Amino acid sequence: MPNSALEIMRKGFSHINEGQLLLILLILFSFFYIQTSMTAAPSLEEGKKLFKEEKFQEAKAVLEQVIKSDPRNHEAYFILGKIYYSEKNYDKSIENLEKAVELKDSVSEYHLWYGSSYLMKAQKSGKIKALFRAKKGVGELEKAVKLDSTDAEVRFSLFQYYLVAPGIAGGDKKKAEKEAKIIQGLDPFLGAQAWAAYWEREKDLIRAEEYLIEAVKFDTSSTFKAKYSLGYFYQVNKKYDKAITSFNEILTKKPEEMNALYQLGKTYILAQHNLEEAEDCFTKYLKVEPSENSPSWAAAHWRLGMVYDLQGEKELALQESKKALELEPDNKEFKKTLQELQKKK
């Protein structure tokens, strides 16, 4: 049996001298190397592209392969952490973001997301663990601000925490006020949003509304963030006519903005009028696949059931409520609604 590739080549090409044979082997090896490189493991750029396109499962598979081939790729860990965060899997989010921070401690955004994951995890924890996780989370947000003090969005996250958290967990109204002033100087839009939240927390709804209207003027995005905030503000504070106007204004500018359609239908339910229009909103909503940050189809079925219940259509209300629960079997609100409807029957 031949014991080397060179001997195999000698048998097949006995007329070729050793120097020529080595040259052939070198060429073949180079060709093989190029082909292997061309079919190499998925790249980080491919993972980023899939993440941007919200193809999260495909992105995860690619990024996990990237980490296998390059265990010190902090960007891959970071994006994986964000994907798990969006899926509300905060344990896996923390695990990956912690690795990203360990590998690249100087990136403000890594600390922001790492801290945010801990804060979300805290909300689902017992009192003692919640306190520990909340302090860990706010500590990471503070690190993020230190690393990039001019990033208004990072400061806004810290501001929100200071504003709503209890004092024992690091909440501080004076710190929130200080952050709002700094944010206003960095970004007038986010500054207006911050002051609106601050005054709403202080129960000064007139000032809060003024700042939200100001935020709409500063909002140059295509996502209607400020207009949504204003609509939600009116919803919560039972100014339903103004909420309806806000969501209709979004739909006038962008008819395919399905979240505005959902919120419009929800507002009609809260106001308990224009129920036929509410029914139309949710029927249309259920014809289009919801985007990542929009209410689910299950939620739309649940809301449509509420419409039918208010219209006195008990059987239809039950059907929609059951559909909602089939789609999200663990949802406590859906279960409660179905139980209440079954009692009425």
Buried b or exposed e, range 16-49, using 16+ CB within 10 angstroms = eeeeebeeeeeeeeeeeeeeeeeeeebebebbbe
Task: Count CB-CB contacts under 10 A for residue 157.
Answer: 19
Q: Classify residue 291 by its DSSP letter.
A: P
Domain annotation covers residue 161? no
Number of domains making up the chain:
1
**Residue 180 within any structural domain of the chain:** no
Residue-wise pLDDT for 222-256, tens only, equals 899 999 999 999 999 999 999 999 999 999 999 99
Quote the CA–CA distance of 19 and 2 in Å, as a whole number.
19
Please report whether residue 17 resides in a domain: yes
Kindly report, residue by residue over 265-283, the tens digit of the pLDDT.
999 999 999 999 999 999 9
Distance CA 296, CA 324 (A): 9
Eight-state DSSP code of residue 165: S
Tell whether 2 is covered by a domain.
Answer: yes
Domain range for 29 is 1-40
69 within a domain of the structure (yes/no) = no
Look at residue 49 and tell me if it is in a domain: no
Which of the pair, 221 or 80, is modelled with greater confidence? 80
Residue 61 C-alpha from the chain's centroid: 19
At residue 41 the predicted structure's pLDDT band, cuts being 50, 70 and 90, is low
Quote the CA–CA distance of 182 and 195 in Å, as a whole number: 11
Is the residue at 24 inside a domain?
A: yes
* Inter-CA distances, 202 with 163, 164, 307, Å: 10, 11, 34
Position 121 in a domain: no
C-alpha 7: how far from chain center: 60
d(CA 197, CA 180): 10
Orientation of helix 314-327 relative to helix 297-310, angle to 10°: 160
> CB-based contacts of 43: which residues, under 8 Å, 6+ apart?
62, 66
